Structure 1
Amino acid sequence: MKSLVVITGASSGFGKAMAKEFHDAGHPLLLLARHVEKLEALGFSDTICQKVDVTDQDTFQKAIRQAEEVYGKTDLLINNAGVMLLGNLEIQDPKEWQQMLDINVMGVMNGMQIVMEDMKKRQHGTIVNFSSLAGVKPFVNHAAYCASKYAVSGLSEVARMELSANDVRVIRILPGAVNTNLLSHTTSNTIKDDYNAWLKETGVGRITPEDVAKTVHFVYDMPQAVNIREIQIADTKQDA
């Protein structure tokens, strides 16, 4: 049996596509999300589905340890869980800022801390963290979202440096506009309408979660000595 793959936010979008990609490749899976019924509906073999809020490190860690008792140590952790609550900095509810920082940043840090020590001991393992193009460049109405994704980019690079001597890889995935339900998290209908109008006008958004899943699989399947540190993946028509 192949090595254990752990995926957060696995019930939809990138997470769901990556779950199928790695399941079809023969990996046992631990799938984590807040809506466990959606995970169970996938009907995958050699898969454990757990209801986990990534901001709760104790529950997060317990789920990983239980899966490792069945399938062996985690070889790949994909920190994919996240929310995108777009808003104008001047008027956006600070509760939305906090929600993004808790899930997008603390959730990633929790996941890394859970697996890092063991990966160092084994001198093997890969951590994939989902940032965004909004983690390397600013966009209007993305202030708090950018803040959270810039944080993921920064903390991932620090972790990569700290783990490199132990032959553990940290990889950052930075998608642009992709056809997922992520925009639905945004509470401003005006911003959503403007975003959708931009997609229609530019023709951007042809990339699918499956395209991103294949990309993640490719970088993971490279030899352990090869660390593709960062991938920015966007529609060819996206100029920003």
Structure 2
Amino acid sequence: MDTKVVLVTGASSGIGESAARHLKDAGFTVYAAARRLDRMAGLREAGVHTIALDVTDDASAKAAVAQILAEQGRIDVLVNNAGYGSYGALEDVPLSEAQAQLDVNVIGLARMAQLVLPQLRAQRSGTIINISSMGGNFTTPLGAWYHASKYAVEAISDALRMELAPLGIEVVVVQPGSIRTEWGAIAAANVRETSGNGPYRVQAEAVANTLGGSSSPGARMTSSPDVVARAITKAATARRPRARYRIGFGAKPLVFAHRILPARVFDRLIQRGMGIGG
């Protein structure tokens, strides 16, 4: 069989970049996709194909998939990693921003799945790996729209897994915990801009400090993106992958705590963890 081909979205940094490198090392032909090609120069030097892709744009998404099929004749794995964290009090977040969050994290993910599925069905094989979050199981203050998007990813993935099982196609969810990437710094800036000067400013500053701290190189209580990349690679290479891979700092214990603790007790745990107090 020809070398398997994988498309990784949101591959310009963090988990996506690390996943592209790990998958390349595992023997895949890797296409790393992101809006900015210039940020993937290192991946090109490592032998990874890089393509421009905006998952919220139909034409861009169709062109990316068409290019891969024209060059390789197949797609075996889709890693739906593109996403960002929109933070701010629900009262403060413009609905246009809420729409943008869902367009990237949910609709963009579904768009890419729709585009690769005809090829996967024709092959009667393949794997779709959706990058969710431990935040697809519970919520944190000022993160309503981000968590809503990840809850949606969980639901879509569960439905898709059942739909595609008879066709020989696997659907996997990866649920990272706290990971050391630029995601936290971007989310921190977002919450300060949205809620940093109004009635939620005390909460916003606490949440921003917690989120931003996860991006610093020496951050404690975080995991390297490589931890998630290894789980993605394991799922991509498994004959029968698990439905979910919960990986990285905090993911397993916090999801377990959410499952067993009364809601208000868990609320206080999360508030204190975010520096807000109970």
TM-score, length of structure 1 as denominator length: 0.90
Structure 2: how far apart are the matches of 1:139 and 1:176?
13
Query: By how many angstroms is 1:239 displaced?
Result: 4.4
Give the aligned partner of residue 212 of structure 1: 228
- State the identity as a percent: 29
Structure 1: how far apart are the matches of 2:214 and 2:47?
41
Give the aligned partner of residue 64 of structure 2: 63
The answer to whether structure 1 residue 6 and structure 2 residue 25 are counterparts is: no
Larger mean Cα displacement after TM superposition, 118-127 or 88-97 = 88-97
Distance 1:230 1:132, change over 3 A: same
Residue type of the partner of 2:247? I
Query: By how many angstroms is 1:236 displaced?
Result: 5.1
**8 Å contact 2:178–2:251 — kept in the other structure?**
no
Query: By how many angstroms is 1:185 displaced?
Result: 2.4
The answer to whether structure 1 residue 233 and structure 2 residue 254 are counterparts is: no
Query: By how many angstroms is 1:45 displaced?
Result: 5.8
CA RMSD of aligned residues (A): 2.2
Question: What is the DSSP-based 3-state SS (H/G/I as helix, E as strand, rest coil) of the residue aligned with 1:88?
Answer: coil
Distance 1:26 1:238, change over 3 A: closer
Mapping of residues 1-240 of structure 1, within 5 Å: 2-44=3-45, 47-186=48-187, 187-189=190-192, 190=205, 191-196=207-212, 203-205=220-222, 207-223=223-239, 226-235=240-249, 239-240=253-254
Give the aligned partner of residue 276 of structure 2: none
Q: Quick check: which has more Rg, 1 or 2?
A: 2
After superposition, give the CA deviation of every residue in 1:153-174 in whole Å (9 maximum; x if it has no partner).
1001111111000110000011
Question: What is the DSSP-based 3-state SS (H/G/I as helix, E as strand, rest coil) of the residue aligned with 1:179?
Answer: coil
Structure 1: how far apart are the matches of 2:27 and 2:213?
40
Q: Which structure: greater helix fraction?
A: 2
TM-score, length of structure 2 as denominator length: 0.79
Question: What is the DSSP-based 3-state SS (H/G/I as helix, E as strand, rest coil) of the residue aligned with 1:78?
Answer: strand
Query: By how many angstroms is 1:237 displaced?
Result: 8.8
After superposition, give the CA deviation of every residue in 1:49-77 in whole Å (9 maximum; x if it has no partner).
22211011222122112122222310000
After superposition, give the CA deviation of every residue in 1:207-226 in whole Å (9 maximum; x if it has no partner).
11111101111122111xx1
Distance 1:91 1:210, change over 3 A: same
Distance 1:221 1:197, change over 3 A: closer
Query: By how many angstroms is 1:143 displaced?
Result: 0.6
Flag structure 1 segments of 5+ consecutive residues without an equivalent.
none
**Count of residues in correspondence between the two structures:** 236
**8 Å contact 1:23–1:44 — kept in the other structure?**
no
Structure 1: how far apart are the matches of 2:83 and 2:176?
13
Query: By how many angstroms is 1:184 displaced?
Result: 2.4
Larger mean Cα displacement after TM superposition, 164-173 or 58-67 = 58-67
Flag structure 2 segments of 5+ consecutive residues without an equivalent.
193-204, 255-278
